[in-house]
Amino acid sequence: MAEQPRLWIRHEVRATERRAPLVPQDARRLVELGFHLTVEESPQRVYPLDEYLAAGCQGAEAGSWTEAPEPAYVLGLKELPDLPDRLVHRHIFFGHAYKGQQGSRELLARFARGGGELLDLEYLVDDTGRRLAAFGYWAGYVGAALGVLQARGRLTAPLRPLAKSELDRQLRDSMRAGAPDALVIGALGRCGRGAVDALEVAGLAATCWDQAETRELDRAALLHHDLLVNTVLTTRPIPPFLRPADLPVADRRLSLVVDVTCDVTSDLNVLPVYRTVTDWSEPVRRLHQDPPLDLIAIDNLPSLLPAEASRAFSAELVAQLRTLADPAAPWRHCRADFRAACRHHELEAVHV
């Protein structure tokens, strides 16, 4: 049997990132197939290192991926630390670097200087373009839940990670505090389905829009809802759903926007009414005073349900990790998109 790839699961530098890209149970499956897995210590990861060691993985200090053997694939979720400025490994994570986001060229330049490679999980797709591993459902679920709790005056900060059963209890307990009229855009996708499910737990029947309803947007109907949950992640320019000109409209009912997508620094942002995301310590920000409009835009929502989100994502990802060594596997799409992005920025991308 051919030697299997080496995987190195890194510690996440973001303090509020509790998820794991691969849970211990699925790590064991790869070990049994001959993969060599190293897992870094991480004080906030929802699964402790001991569970990975029991699954047959090796342990390592947080941040030691920089010294990993160069053939290793470094697996994570969110952003890398600022150093080193030369990335020599193949990294698997959500890079957010292909749509003109802030800092995207700088990140790609680090790979080009070191001869490394970014296999962006957002672009791990099959031949039809369908995402093969995503956190979308839980992002939508948590985003809509936070929106309901805020609309009903029940959201408290700072936010903390919890189990789905506790979040659902909060939603049910909040029912007596009112029934905001909610609109979910992108309701047919994974993220949208999660948002609709959370609203149902909260006792709300959402208005559901998708491509058919947004092809010719009824802006007056959009502004007539109390709560907007945006779950649309687009790869091509489309007319924005909410514009700066909509904020001072006197008869606007819309008072809360939850942007699950958080494509805020991209030219493809469908909600160009804000420039910076919110976070766990201050999850809600006032966008406009009269009439009032508040924003929730947290870019790691699934980390608030870290166990459920990690298990679901890992179950999808482990099947794809098994194919890393196969040149015909869907990872080829990630490689092609990485090289295209480097060419766009006039960077040479050659993995050594």
Catalytic residue IDs: 78, 96
DSSP β-ladder status, 293-296 and 285-288: antiparallel
Widest CA span of the chain, in angstroms?
Answer: 69
What is the H or E stretch that residue 146 is in?
helix 136-151
Query: Using CA atoms, how far apart are residues 300 and 92, in angstroms rounded to an integer?
Result: 17
How many CB atoms are located within 10 Å of the residue 10 CB?
A: 27
Beta carbons of 184 and 160 less than 8 angstroms apart: no
User: Which residues are CB-neighbours of 83 under 8 A, at least 6 positions away?
Assistant: none
Query: Using CA atoms, how far apart are residues 151 and 256, in angstroms rounded to an integer?
Result: 7
Query: Using CA atoms, how far apart are residues 76 and 219, in angstroms rounded to an integer?
Result: 39
Residue with tokens 């409009």: 293
- Structure tokens that stand for 282 in this block: 């201050």
Going by the DSSP 8-state scheme, the letter that residue 125 receives in this structure is B
**Helix, coil or strand: residue 294:** strand
**Rounded to 5°, angle at Cα 39 from 124 and 167:** 70
Query: Using CA atoms, how far apart are residues 345 and 98, in angstroms rounded to an integer?
Result: 10
Query: Using CA atoms, how far apart are residues 71 and 6, in angstroms rounded to an integer?
Result: 7
Beta carbons of 244 and 272 less than 8 angstroms apart: yes
Residue of 201, 202, 206, 257 lying closest to 229 (CA atoms) = 257
Residue 328: exposure state from Cβ atoms within 10 A (0-12, 13-18, ≥19):
exposed
